[in-house]
A and B are shown apart, each in its own frame.
Chain A
Amino acid sequence: MSWATIITIGVGAYVFKVLGLVVLGGRRLPRFLHRCLDLLPAALLPALIAINTVTSGRHLVLDARLPGVAIAALATHRRWPFPVILVLAASVTALARHLAR
């Protein structure tokens, strides 16, 4: 990732924060917009999960990532700590990949 990309994301993210806290602060947004912004992660995170689990480039692929992510879902449901979830998912995928060879 280039420095330009990193700085653009950094500035953009800061603009959103300043927009709410300083620029708009005190004013009321239309409830529609408010809820829409608040729901964006609920729409985007599942998309990111799907794309990073069952696709590769522009192809649908079922591989060792799937069991890893399934374990992550189970561990999340059980409210296990974040780093534990990551290590568990990575280990299961690494193991599945190793066994498949």
Chain B
Amino acid sequence: MSNEYVRQRTNRSPIAASVTLSIAVGFVGASFGVLAVASGLSWPRACAMSLLVFTGASQFAAVGVVRSGGTALAAIGSALLLAARNSVYGLAMSRVITGRLGKRLIAAQITIDESTAMATAQTERGDQQRAFWATGLGIFVFWNLGTLLGALLGHTLGDPKTFGLDAAFPAGFVALLGPHLRKPGGRAAGVFGALSAIALVPVLPVGLPILVAALGALVGLRRGPVGEAS
């Protein structure tokens, strides 16, 4: 979502950039809180998701799948497939975040799109570490604060359909999609994902088409240039 934003801001003060970004992401957290509660989650459950899962796309996906009638297994599957990329970020960050095991286990929870993007935008190792921790911890605070406020606000809204909240889910995914499509092979993966999902919806049980759409990653792999790994 925020890679370009990160690159634009980060040439100035990395810490100021981290705080700005964290506040912006806090509003996304608030959106999650509203939608989670509108989809039937209690506010403690919405907050627990943000604390424990702490990966935006996975959280939106899980709530979206359950909302559209999918099983818990389908929700878990799609959320975890989306979370798998964090292990790639972890690999990239393992050269920057070193030291005691306890510290690295804490760092793991905040290894997400934004903290990795902010750290890799720096050139000095010290700056990379500062950018990682400032962004990761800043977003953790504001994401959870946002979720809490959004969830409490969501309780005051009535029928989600009256407010068009059912369209806010796919709209959120649209907003998160940009940077992923620009990766090598990203477009091919995306086209396969969308078309296979639509084709399979009438045939497979709810929630399964999304899991099959994950194969689009393999399609993207074949179509993308072999050279650069993002």
* Residues of A bordering B, CB below 8 Å: 1-14, 16-22, 24-27, 29, 31-32, 34-60, 64-65, 68-69, 71-73, 75-76, 79, 81-83, 85-97
Task: Decide if A14 touches B167 in the complex (CB within 8 Å).
Answer: no
**One of B75, B178, B210 near A5 (C-beta < 8 A):** B75
Task: Decide if A9 touches B49 in the complex (CB within 8 Å).
Answer: yes
Task: Decide if B221 touches A22 in the complex (CB within 8 Å).
Answer: no
**Given the interface contacts A1-B45, A21-B111, does A10 sit within 8 Å of B52 by beta carbon?**
yes
Instruction: Tell me how far the C-beta of A53 lies from the nearest C-beta in chain B, rounded to whole angstroms.
Output: 4
Best-surrounded residue of A12, A43, A97 (most CB of chain B within 10 A): A43
Closest B residue by C-beta to A94: B164
Task: Decide if B213 touches A57 in the complex (CB within 8 Å).
Answer: no
* Interface residue? B216 (CB, 8 A): yes
User: B85-120: which have CB < 8 Å to A?
Assistant: 85-95, 97, 101, 104-105, 107-109, 111
* Interface residue? B76 (CB, 8 A): yes
User: B29-62: which have CB < 8 Å to A?
Assistant: 30-31, 40-41, 45, 48-49, 51-55, 57-58, 60-62
Task: Decide if A1 touches B61 in the complex (CB within 8 Å).
Answer: no
- CA–CA, A69 to B194, complex, Å? 14
**Number of B interface residues, CB 8 Å?**
109
Task: Decide if B61 touches A76 in the complex (CB within 8 Å).
Answer: no
**One of B62, B89, B163, B193 near A1 (C-beta < 8 A):** B62
Instruction: Tell me how far the C-beta of B37 lies from the nearest C-beta in chain A, rounded to whole angstroms.
Output: 11
- Chain B residues with Cβ below 8 Å from A34 are 88, 91, 229
- CA–CA, A28 to B215, complex, Å? 23
- CA–CA, A40 to B230, complex, Å? 13
- CA–CA, A71 to B167, complex, Å? 10
Closest A residue by C-beta to B107: A21
Task: Decide if B209 touches A13 in the complex (CB within 8 Å).
Answer: no
A-B contact pairs, 19 of them (CB 8 A): A3-B45, A10-B49, A11-B52, A17-B89, A17-B109, A22-B90, A24-B87, A38-B229, A44-B78, A47-B197, A48-B197, A49-B170, A51-B68, A51-B209, A72-B167, A81-B24, A82-B28, A90-B167, A92-B164
* Interface residue? B149 (CB, 8 A): no
Closest A residue by C-beta to B57: A41
- CA–CA, A87 to B91, complex, Å? 36
- CA–CA, A96 to B218, complex, Å? 38
